[in-house]
Every structure is written in C-alpha cells, then in structure tokens.
Structure 1
C-alpha cells in the first residue's frame, strides 16, 4: 500500500461499529499505509473538510482494544444522501479534490443500505472521470437487512441484548402479576425487516417460556386478531409479554405507530421515524379490556449495549474492517465485504466481496417460512440461524465499576 487510507462511519451506530473501525485502522497500518484518516461525521463532515489523522487518537494496542469495546460511532456519523452524479457534479468534484490533496488511495465506508449507496456513487464517479481511488464498503447495521451477506456486524450483539432484556422483562412481570393481569408490549427496532424482533425468542429456555406473541413487519398486522389473542391469553395467565417491531403495518400499509397521531420526522433518505406502536397497543388494551399495561421501547439501548456485546460479533466486525482494506489495496472498488456462513456446527464464517450495485438500497427480509403460519411467532429455523451470532462475551475494561471507552476529545 503506497497511498493513504480514509475511513468514515454512517447511519445508525451499533455496539461493534468501532470494532470495524479498529480493523480498518490496524490492517491499513500493517499493510504499509502512510496515514489513516478518519472522517468526522461521515461524508457530510468530509465535505466540510472535517477529518483527522487517526494515529493521533489511536496510539497503542490498548487503544485498539478499547475501541473494539466502545459503542456508538467513534468518528461521528451522518445520514446524508449524495445527489445523483448528473444532478450535482460540483459535490463530487469537491470530494475528489480533497481526496487527491490527501493522497487517498483507499476510501472505506462503514454503514448500512444507505451508506452503500454512497460507495456506489463515488466509485461510479471515479470510474467515469478516471480517478484512481478505490471505494469499498464495510457492512454495519443492527437491522440485519443488507442483501447478499449472511448477516451484518452489529446484529448479533443487538440480538443478544434483546433476548437477554426480554427474558428479564418476563421475569420482572412474573413477580408483579399475582392475581392481577399485566400485559407488557415491547417495541423493538425494525422498519421493514423483523430480524431484531424475532431475536426476542432467544429468551426461551428451561427457565423462561419467552414472549407470548411476536409480530414482525413482514406480515400485515390485524388489530382485531391481536385483541382476540390477548383476550384468550389472559384467560390462562396473568403475565403476558408481546414483542412487536416498530414497523408493524396494517393491511392498508399504515404503520401502527401512525394511529397514535404522533408527528412524523422524515430523514434525508425518506425514512419515517417510527415510534409509539407499543404505546398505542397498550392504550388500546387498557381501554377495551381494562387491565394494567406497560409499554417498553428498547430504543437506542439495543444498539449501544456494548457491555453485552457478542464476542462473535466483535471479532467479525474487526474482520470485515480488515477485509475491506485488503480488498481495496488489491484493486477492488465499488464493492462491499460480506460474511459467508461456512458451517453451522461448528459455526464458521469467511469474508467475501460483492458488487455494491447489487446491495445498495435493497433489503433482506426474514424468510416467510421462518415465521409461523398465523404470523404471531418465529420458527426454530430462525433461532438456529441467530444463536451462533450471540455467542461469547468481550469483557469491558472496568474503571470504578463502569466500562471504559475510547473517547474522542472535543476541541
């Protein structure tokens, strides 16, 4: 590697996104990069020439280990949609002027669907205009909805948190519902794909029956049938726990969260911010049945709980970061690193590389056969898929009883 490397983070963070950043940095240094720059706040910050020399912030092997255990986006993230090339060439000219000035050889972007759109556009522009930089994407999303990869770094740790927290909520309710009915509705992230909500079934075991109902956005949500299920359940038990995706929709396409009348925020990619499904359903149950309800939103906790991160997930995140640098150094561009599952028992995986044009702006949904016929639970095939991804722990470095993170100092 003769030139320099630049890396950025984009979209929603995960508990292991910084492990990928650590993998990029270490591999780039090991392969001879003179400098590894970090974009502050993704491509949006880069356009404002916000970047740093990472060697001034990651100074030792201990810093790399701390970074692997640090949640959120260490460099800062963004949700910025690049225009089409023909719509605004000036933005692309500015980006490449900065890249050339910094003598960038490899551009690595860690993110999800929308971030791969950025890799696609920049690599296309480079080819069209004869630029030499290589552009490679590193998969990242707790939603696990990226196409062509078996799973995405970030999902395993989020699934581990969701399974654990669901189990603890169930246990908590068992201690509160003596002779009184308590219905808890847990709202879990997932706009169109139910990978996260399905992970609530990981709570099932010899010491826990798991949630009573699980609703994924892949199946239209029927409120009348839902209420009928609730009425039947409370005839048999006092403590009822339901897991729902934030993106569950009615047959007519309306999100359940919209029924509460909440104002909607729409991001740069046209995505509605979804929240309130659990609250709406709890209010409905209270008004129609008259029992005690409780809504729980895992919200940002499910993507930031690095203290409960999966060892498999952290190691794979580091691995794909390194694989991206290796691919770019060897001439690949317009590609994304993927994880291929080699074996289930024992679990083994390897990295591959795919054309980002086949990945960007596509979504991988939970297979219909992994959801029960009535759409109220997931199957054993789903659990067999996700269980290997939540294995192992990465003990945090504790200081005064609290996990220590790698901190990016403010100016």
Structure 2
C-alpha cells in the first residue's frame, strides 16, 4: 500500500438519495480540505453519468459556511444517477481522469455504485494509471454485506416506524370505516425497511399486526386467515408489506403495476399494496385501503436520525483518509460496538465482496410465522434510529351506565 501522488480528488453520489447522503459528502470534502496532498476537490454532477459528460464543479469554490448547513440537508446535493457503465465508457473515464489529474475518487452509493467503483479501479490498474477509488456506503435498503448497517437506513427506519404509528391513529379513530390498512414500503429483495415499521410496537395490539417481507413467499390463504383472525380479535388490522413481495411461484405481487426496469435490470414494481387490498375486499368483504410513503421514506428531514447522520459523515471522512493512504478498490464499513454503549468504528472491505451482492434479513429477526419481528431485531435496530420513539396514549373506555 503506497500513498498515491499529489493530485485532485473527485466525489460523486449515486443511486437513490437519502436523508443523510449529504452528510457523507461533507465528510469527504472536509477531510480533503484539511489534507495538503489534495489540490483540486471536484464534484461530478449526477454521478458517473455526469462525469462522462465532464459535468464537473469545483467544490473548493463553495463558501465555507455551506458545509455545516449541507450536512443537515436531505437528498443528493451533487445529483444522482442510475447509470450502468458500459465497457466502452471505461477508457473514456480514465482519459478524463488523466486530463484533470484526478488521483482520488470517492463514490457514495449502494450495491450498483460499488460495482461502478470496482470496474473503474480495474480499468485504472489495467491502464497503469495511479488512482485510488473508495466506495462510501449508502442505502436505505440496508442490504450491503460486510457492514453492520448502511448509512441512510436509520433515518428511513425511523420514518417508517413513525409513519406506521401515525397512520394507524386514523384507523383507530374510526375502525369500521376502513378496518384494514396496508402500508407499502420500498426494499428491492430485502425486508429491512418493512420490519422497521415494527420499531414502535410495544404490545400485541400496537401496529403493525402483519409484516410481509420479500425473503418469504406470500401465501394468499395464510394471509387472509391471519387478517380475519386479527380483525375479529382487535377490530382492525395494520399490514406493512414490501413492494417486492412474491408469491409461492416467485411472482411479484406488484407485477400488475410494473413499469419497466432500471439500468441495472432491477424491476420497477408498483402494486403490491393494491393487490393485498383487493384480496381482502374480495375474500373477506372488509373495507380496505393502502398508504404508500414513496420517496418520503428516503429523505424525510423531519425523521433524520442523529446517529445515522453522524455515521454517514464518519464513513465519508474515513473514505477520504483511506484513499489518501493509498487504499483502493474498497468500501468503508461500519463496525458495531455495544460496550460501554452503542457506537461504531470503521474498517475496509474489498469491493469484490460488495459489488452486486445483497444481505438479506437474517432468519433470527423474524418469528416462526415470518410475519413479525423478534427481540433480536429490536436490539439491532433501535440504536440506529436515534432518539426513542414517542409512546402514544389511549383513553380508558369505561363507559357510563345508561340512565
């Protein structure tokens, strides 16, 4: 491991934006500003797609007052993309790096972004170009392997827990109006976001009552039996389902609303919640409706976890330091410590272990029914969402004797 030559550093953001992705950007920039080995500090607008167009800005020209404010700003300040590098793009990118004397690249993103960084690292090596590339993790899906969790997840988890609690309050106030509600979450193949909806659940009647994750096949008969039993016992049912749940044949329930695929050939699904609502209406004859938080779960500034934001900054900062130390073709990881209290340090993992690999929800985080979380999940996730969630109160319903 030999430190790379003095040169310029470039940063990009990729994939779905989060509430704390800019904290990672600020971490990268502030670490670079403090190091004399870095000359220019550049930003690629809209990720690797912008770099190919040489759509680049000089981040040293930004006012110093911007960075503390940007740290608390959701979404991707540099702009994002979902562009899959083509083989004939690689030579072009290396040629751009040569012209701009870029010796360090930090790319903030998830699985697909790690693939982009890995391919560029290989291309630089094959071209005998001295370049350090570090991937900075980000994804609300929380599905990157070899890291305890992913920046962005804690804030999205907090949002979904609160959204589930808040949305349920309307159902409780008039349960006979729409006694069954389905809340649809994001999450490609892993149920991390879906199970986060249970983080505010303290007893059996608290929402959600049924959780449906992509890891376990959906059975319509089993689902309807559960819904009917809970409805008869409680009077209403709150269901949280991933948009990518699949039936026992592997068919996504959301296929009815599929609107194509992204650049990495991941299906763009929509319709799982609507499908579940129709099942309930047709077979149980109960009124049902659904909520779809959509992009709000990615970047609701009102639900930013302080812990998540601090860790997002940390991985950006440590990514820059790793690149300046000569590390390359690696991703920063979060290493969890629970003593004397919860905190994280960082490490590095080879991008070959990260690119296009997903970490699914561990079996021990779901109970035997596969539709509710266990205590192990609470112990894992609660430290990530920051401040404790509120506890909503209910009136005692002792009624007066009729006169």
Q: Cα–Cα, structure 1 residues 270 and 233, in superposed 2: closer, same or farther, change >3 Å?
A: same
Shift of 1:332: 0.3
Partner of 1:96: 94
Write the deviation string for residues 54-99 of structure 1: whole angstroms up to 9, x where unpaired.
Answer: 1233x12x4112211111111111111113xxx43xx222111211
Moved more, 322-331 or 168-177: 168-177
Shift of 1:181: 5.5
Partner of 1:242: 239
* Partners of 2:126 and 2:160 in 1: CA distance: 45
Write the deviation string for residues 158-200 of structure 1: whole angstroms up to 9, x where unpaired.
Answer: 00001111111122211121x5551000001112100000001
Q: How is 1:1-150 mapped onto 2 (pairs within 5 angstroms)?
A: 2-32=6-36, 33-57=38-62, 59-60=63-64, 62-83=65-86, 87-88=87-88, 91-150=89-148
Write the deviation string for residues 79-135 of structure 1: whole angstroms up to 9, x where unpaired.
Answer: 11113xxx43xx222111211111112100000000000111011111122110110
Partner of 1:406: none
Partner of 1:169: 167
Conserved 8 A contact 2:171-2:178: no
* Partners of 2:365 and 2:303 in 1: CA distance: 26
Partner of 2:398: none
Partner of 1:185: 182
Shift of 1:307: 2.1
Conserved 8 A contact 1:221-1:248: yes
Unpaired segments ≥5 residues, structure 2: 389-403
* Partners of 1:208 and 1:312 in 2: CA distance: 29
Conserved 8 A contact 1:109-1:138: yes
Shift of 1:358: 0.7
Aligned with 2:151 (options 147, 150, 153): 153
Confirm whether residue 319 of structure 1 aligns to residue 314 of structure 2. yes
Q: How is 1:191-340 mapped onto 2 (pairs within 5 angstroms)?
A: 191-205=188-202, 209-258=206-255, 261-340=256-335
Q: Cα–Cα, structure 1 residues 322 and 248, in superposed 2: closer, same or farther, change >3 Å?
A: same
Give SS of 1:275's match.
Answer: coil
* Partners of 2:318 and 2:108 in 1: CA distance: 12
Write the deviation string for residues 280-326 of structure 1: whole angstroms up to 9, x where unpaired.
Answer: 11122112222221101111110010221000000000000010110
Shift of 1:240: 1.1
* Partners of 2:286 and 2:83 in 1: CA distance: 44
Q: Cα–Cα, structure 1 residues 207 and 241, in superposed 2: closer, same or farther, change >3 Å?
A: closer
What is the root-mean-square deviation of aligned Cα atoms in Å? 1.6
Conserved 8 A contact 2:112-2:355: yes
Give SS of 1:388's match.
Answer: helix
Conserved 8 A contact 2:142-2:150: yes
Write the deviation string for residues 191-224 of structure 1: whole angstroms up to 9, x where unpaired.
Answer: 2100000001112137972211111111111111
* Partners of 1:206 and 1:289 in 2: CA distance: 26
Count matched residues: 383
* Partners of 1:325 and 1:263 in 2: CA distance: 39
Q: How is 1:354-365 mapped onto 2 (pairs within 5 angstroms)?
A: 354-365=349-360
Q: Cα–Cα, structure 1 residues 347 and 268, in superposed 2: closer, same or farther, change >3 Å?
A: same
Give SS of 2:338's match.
Answer: strand
* Partners of 1:297 and 1:52 in 2: CA distance: 36
Write the deviation string for residues 230-263 of structure 1: whole angstroms up to 9, x where unpaired.
Answer: 11111112221001111111111100112xx324
* Partners of 2:39 and 2:183 in 1: CA distance: 48
Partner of 2:395: none
* Partners of 1:96 and 1:180 in 2: CA distance: 61
Conserved 8 A contact 1:181-1:234: no
Shift of 1:152: 0.4
* Partners of 2:247 and 2:272 in 1: CA distance: 12
* Partners of 2:379 and 2:222 in 1: CA distance: 28
Moved more, 193-202 or 261-270: 261-270
Provide TM-score, normalisation by structure 1: 0.90
* Partners of 1:207 and 1:216 in 2: CA distance: 19
Unpaired segments ≥5 residues, structure 1: 394-411
Give SS of 2:133's match.
Answer: strand
